[in-house]
Structure 1
Amino acid sequence: MTSSLELHTERLTIRDWTLGDAEAALQIYGAEEVARWLTPEMRAVHDVEAMRSVLHAWMEAQPNLVPPAGRWAIAHKRGGDLLGGLSLRLLPPFEEDFELNWQLRPDAWGNGYATEAGSAAIGWAFEQGIEELFAVARPKNTRAIATARRLGMEWVGETEKYYSTRLQVFRIRPSDTAVRTR
């Protein structure tokens, strides 16, 4: 069982994390503008060694995740600059619903990278047999909410079911992507 992945879009490569990504990943997961929106179990990372430890833990866990779950790096095709991270994971507490989430370094915001990477991940997840994907966002996280909508995700309500935090919930199913591509 493995969740190794490499996807290519027009501008991006979605690939496995490496320990060599630690310094660049710190620009994402150490940025307060990003960390404030992370799930309660993921806090801001404060130094390269801590980031390397986080990446190591993600890399060690990857082969044991229920496919198509995983955590991947988003890199620019040209030059390979690390722009962000993307994951597909089972949402707590019941681990029934698959969540798509993304994080970009702040200087990469506003270029459509999250939508481009998210769209590729959605297509890939549906090819793996996933019947629906969810995205959750805190109500004031307007960037994440806008990205979920650009991905064609439908708002399905608000809940405290996941992470015991009030969240906006968005969903997409394979039939939604068929309508979107027409």
Structure 2
Amino acid sequence: MSDRLLLRPWRVDDADFLLELESGREIIGPAGLRTTMTTREDALASIARRALDDPIHGVWAITTAVDGKLVGNLLFKPIHLSAGEPSDGPEDVEIGWHLHTDAQGRGYATEAARVVIDDAFSRGLTKVIAVTDPANHASQAVCRRLGMRHLGRTMRYYDCPNELFEKRAPV
């Protein structure tokens, strides 16, 4: 993937790391359902749901290239619309990341996301979005470093207010 990072599928032996990464954090899943990961069983169930058989979309573990140390999570998949939102065209594709606190501030999220976005654009995808919690200024900074344009606050996704960012493929 890059000189510093690799993306790989989540494995059963990653469950303890995933539980630590997501523990106590509200996770928004299919159809906007909110859950909190609290047990190893929750982590294992989440790993099972992360397997997407798709050449572009996925939910991957981010590891360091040198020693394979897990540092976080990167997702790139169709995003769920809020209840009642009209589907007025092709599904929007979301990019998102969550890094372990020990790995934050090193440019890993920007680096991993940039590679995935560039790959998707090379395969014909024309637009990528990111939604962030309005208070998550760190993720908003990553969006800006990726060259994403801030479109303002929206309720279009996940049935809650988010800051919406967009990046379009070069013409």
Please classify the TM superposition score into its range, dividing by the shorter chain length. 0.7 to 0.9
| Structure 2 partner of 1:149 | 144
| Structure 1 partner of 2:110 | 115
Change (3 A) 1:105 1:42: farther
1:120 aligned counterpart, secondary structure? helix
1:152 aligned counterpart, secondary structure? coil
Any conservation in 2 of the 1:25–1:82 contact (CA below 8 Å)? no
C-alpha offsets along residues 134-179 of structure 1, whole Å, 9 cap, x if unaligned? Answer: 0001111111111110111111222101112111111111228xxx
Instruction: Give the RMSD, CA atoms, in angstroms.
Output: 1.8
1:175 aligned counterpart, secondary structure? coil
Consecutive unaligned residues in structure 1, runs of 5 or more:
1-7, 177-182
Match of 2:121 among 121, 126, 129: 126
1:156 aligned counterpart, secondary structure? strand
1:161 aligned counterpart, secondary structure? coil
Any conservation in 2 of the 1:139–1:166 contact (CA below 8 Å)? yes
C-alpha offsets along residues 18-54 of structure 1, whole Å, 9 cap, x if unaligned? Answer: 1111111122111x4xx25x43535331122221121
Is residue 48 from structure 1 mapped to residue 50 from structure 2 by the alignment? no
Moved over 2 A (4+): 38-44
1:129 aligned counterpart, secondary structure? coil
Is residue 58 from structure 1 mapped to residue 50 from structure 2 by the alignment? yes
Consecutive unaligned residues in structure 2, runs of 5 or more:
82-86
Counterpart amino acid of 1:96? E
Any conservation in 2 of the 1:86–1:100 contact (CA below 8 Å)? yes
- More helix by proportion, 1 or 2? 1
Any conservation in 2 of the 1:15–1:73 contact (CA below 8 Å)? yes
Q: Which moved more, 1:42-51 or 1:156-165?
A: 42-51
| Structure 2 partner of 1:158 | 153
| Structure 1 partner of 2:84 | none
Q: Identity of aligned pairs, percent?
A: 32
Change (3 A) 1:11 1:144: same
d(CA) in 1 for partners of 2:96, 2:34: 13
Counterpart amino acid of 1:17? W
